[in-house]
Structure 1
Amino acid sequence: MTREGKVWLVTGASSGFGRAIAQAAVDAGDTVIGTARRTEALADLVTAHPDRVEAIGLDVTDGERIDAVAADVLTRYGRVDVLVNNAGRTQVGAFEETTDRELRDLFELHVFGPARLTRALLPHMRERGSGAIVNISSFGGQLSFAGFSAYSATKAALEQLSEGLADEVTPFGIKVLIVEPGAFRTNLFGKGAAYFSHEHPAYAEKVGATRKAVREGDGTQPGDPAKAAAAIRLALDAEDTPLRLALGGDAVDALVGHLDAVRTELATWEELSRGTDFDAR
């Protein structure tokens, strides 16, 4: 197909950031292939823009399905200009409460799935000398706290993959953008959407506060997904696109505090750290 504007492939496009990004792309005259486990949630967008929106069923933990979807999209559309790896979920639980299965499942969703889809599309971007890969992380990709060790671990892994990738593909004209949102009014905290590990009484106070915040936070988050989508577009369109884009005042405050703490700790222990080098001859 010959398309005017950009062609976007957005995972988890049925709600939240994915839906907002898809809507913003369509409003700008671009074409969107939105993937979701339940494509009926995209029916209204497809109906409103049948020539520029397609919904495709995809579970990003299914590697073979990822390959098939990527090949099909490239065959029919000829290119993907912007890949948005957005599909994901919340998981709350103390480190000790989190099982191997829960941890592996989360890595499949937040790391291995996006990595496989990116690898499937990257050669075509590289050969064309253009493209953008947007990986939706979290401010938790740079820091963590009680109840979010597993979630933050997956986002940190995604961020480091993205940072190395950016260094590799920038010479080919490909942009990589890591998005680090705070609390936005999506369904991430919604009933049935957030996953909670089995509770251990030893962590009732420390992790309990995080569980309470997630369970009671739905609908009160300060972030506006539509504004987030607009900010992502502005960052991608900028001549000097940032590697990381924090979204929301809470994300900025948390990251500034974290960076200050890291710098203070590094300075406090700098002499000891430097003293581990071989003595100069």
Structure 2
Amino acid sequence: MKQGKVWLVTGAGKGFGYEIVKAASASGDKVVATVRKESEKDIFDGDPNVLVLGMDVTLPKQVEAAVEKGIARFGGLDVIVNNAGFGIVGAIEEISDEETRKQYDTNVFGVLNVIRAVLPQLRKQRSGHIINISSLFAYDAIPAWALYGSTKFAVEGISVGLAIELAPFDIQVTALAPGLFRTNFLDAGSFLTPANPIGDYDKTPAGQYRNNAGAYHGNQAGDPAKLAKVVVALAAQEHPPLHLPVGLDSLQSYRNNAARTSREIEEWAGKFPATEV
């Protein structure tokens, strides 16, 4: 009989995913940790609680195979953490169609691929918790991060709809939005910039963020190991929240945008009363 929880964590080779796998295993749970790079496959060697599988979230057949192997090894799935993703930093105009699709293929369609692969098992069990890693950029737009943020807006929207649809099956959903944490996300090679930047943006905030994104690496306020503990505690909740900002910067981003949006809507609702349209 299966004891404890069984996790599936994508993007487990580094950053949040790596720390979440370690924290879940330390709690006594079993973890299916998926990684994309061959060099990452031995990172949890010696941990009997962890099964590391190569998987690219953009390839549905690979996702389905990994889910099947995980279920066969541990007998089910309880907590799904959709963590795999990357960022492209630049003004929206600068980012090509090809670059945009690559961003969405991983951050949005990759999440959907995993959800589709795990739901037959979760529906069969009539239980489970899907945790989709969002971002503070899903709460408000920041120059040069707007396109990346739009993928996280999509993750938030998918999570809301999913929660409603899965409620009859007793499957929980949380969109967890970290603030800025000291992960590899801003390390050289972990994010992209447009292949064809537009010089006119260089002296604008978008251009400055694009050119200096790497300077923030290692200076972020958040500790990813602490976030991993939050995720493990979240998975233990009987009635977890649908939305969870983690970090003071993420919480403040939500509050600022919510207040500004409310003010704007109420102001313009008075100028164009809904009852007159």
In the TM superposition, residue 21 of structure 1 has moved relative to its aligned partner by 0.6
Does the Cα contact within 8 Å between 2:41 and 2:53 map onto a contact in 1? no
For 2:258, the equivalent position in structure 1 comes to: 259
1:63 matches 2:77: no
CA deviation profile, 1:29-50 (whole Å, cap 9, x unmatched): 0011111112543524222x1x
In the TM superposition, residue 3 of structure 1 has moved relative to its aligned partner by 3.8
Compared CA separation, residues 4 and 42, structure 1 to 2 (3 A): farther
1:258 and 1:44 mapped to 2: Cα distance?
A: 39
Moved over 6 A (4+): none
For 2:126, the equivalent position in structure 1 comes to: 129
In the TM superposition, residue 167 of structure 1 has moved relative to its aligned partner by 1.0
1:72 and 1:273 mapped to 2: Cα distance?
A: 57
Residue identity opposite 2:27 in structure 1? A
Paired residue secondary structure (1:117): helix
Does the Cα contact within 8 Å between 1:31 and 1:53 map onto a contact in 2? yes
Select the residue among 85, 96, 103 that pairs with 1:99: 96
1:79 and 1:39 mapped to 2: Cα distance?
A: 25
State TM-score, norm by structure 1.
Answer: 0.93
Counterparts of 1:16-55 in structure 2, within 5 Å, are 16-47=15-46, 49=47, 51-55=48-52
In the TM superposition, residue 277 of structure 1 has moved relative to its aligned partner by 5.3
In the TM superposition, residue 178 of structure 1 has moved relative to its aligned partner by 0.5
For 2:181, the equivalent position in structure 1 comes to: 184
For 1:110, the equivalent position in structure 2 comes to: 107
Does the Cα contact within 8 Å between 1:46 and 1:54 map onto a contact in 2? no
1:232 and 1:25 mapped to 2: Cα distance?
A: 9
Counterparts of 1:234-253 in structure 2, within 5 Å, are 234-253=233-252
Does the Cα contact within 8 Å between 2:13 and 2:43 map onto a contact in 1? no
Compared CA separation, residues 44 and 113, structure 1 to 2 (3 A): closer
Counterparts of 1:144-155 in structure 2, within 5 Å, are 144-155=141-152
1:200 matches 2:173: no
Residue identity opposite 1:12 in structure 2? G
Residue identity opposite 1:239 in structure 2? E
1:260 and 1:244 mapped to 2: Cα distance?
A: 17
Does the Cα contact within 8 Å between 1:39 and 1:56 map onto a contact in 2? no
Compared CA separation, residues 270 and 232, structure 1 to 2 (3 A): same
Does the Cα contact within 8 Å between 1:223 and 1:248 map onto a contact in 2? yes
1:109 and 1:196 mapped to 2: Cα distance?
A: 16
State TM-score, norm by structure 2.
Answer: 0.94
CA deviation profile, 1:228-268 (whole Å, cap 9, x unmatched): 11112222322331111111111111111111100110111
Number of aligned residue pairs: give it.
Answer: 275
In the TM superposition, residue 273 of structure 1 has moved relative to its aligned partner by 4.5
Measured on the aligned residues, the alpha-carbon RMSD in Å equals 1.6
1:20 and 1:191 mapped to 2: Cα distance?
A: 20
Does the Cα contact within 8 Å between 1:14 and 1:39 map onto a contact in 2? no
2:134 and 2:102 mapped to 1: Cα distance?
A: 17
Residue identity opposite 1:108 in structure 2? D
1:35 and 1:239 mapped to 2: Cα distance?
A: 26
Counterparts of 1:199-238 in structure 2, within 5 Å, are 199-206=197-204, 207-238=206-237
Unpaired stretches in structure 2, ≥5 consecutive residues:
none
CA deviation profile, 1:173-197 (whole Å, cap 9, x unmatched): 1110111111100000001111111
Unpaired stretches in structure 1, ≥5 consecutive residues:
none
1:83 matches 2:89: no
10-19 vs 234-243, which moves further: 234-243
In the TM superposition, residue 216 of structure 1 has moved relative to its aligned partner by 0.2
2:65 and 2:53 mapped to 1: Cα distance?
A: 11
Residue identity opposite 1:204 in structure 2? D
Paired residue secondary structure (2:209): helix
62-71 vs 149-158, which moves further: 62-71
In the TM superposition, residue 149 of structure 1 has moved relative to its aligned partner by 2.0
